[in-house]
Amino acid sequence: MPLAFVYMMTRAGARHPLDMSQLFKSPSRAIGWFLLGNSILMFWRVNYVAQMRQNNASLSQLHTRVTNNEQTHNILKTMKFHLQTRRMDIWEQHSK
């Protein structure tokens, strides 16, 4: 992408698509365009990485919630099976 910025800068006085004469006329200007392209690309990369980390964090929270729900469901199933096999209510075990 930075090289694309330098290439676009050379198109102003170019005679054909491969004419790079403007590049050698003002090397400091070409370096400036290259650095501008690098800066824009770096901002885009930082934004992309931040979005990926945010998405991974939300997926991690989702997986944690799903795991907790599955554990709770399994505990409740086990309790229900235990109570049904003993043929008593949950309140009967505390009545004595």
Whether the predicted pLDDT of 95 surpasses 70: no
Domain count, the chain: 1
Residue 10 makes CB contacts below 8 A (sequence gap 6+) with 19, 20, 21, 22, 23, 30
69: containing domain: 2-88
User: Between 82 and 80, whose confidence is greater?
Assistant: 80
H/E element, 29? helix 27-86
Within-domain flag for 75: yes
- Can you give the pLDDT at residue 92? 61
Within-domain flag for 25: yes
Within-domain flag for 40: yes
- The pLDDT tens digits of the residues spanning 26-54 come to 788 778 878 888 888 899 999 888 888 87
Mean pLDDT, the chain, integer? 76
Confidence band (pLDDT; 50, 70, 90) for 87? low
The DSSP code sequence of 30-78 is HHHHHHHHHHHHHHHHHHHHHHHHHHHHHHHHHHHHHHHHHHHHHHHHH
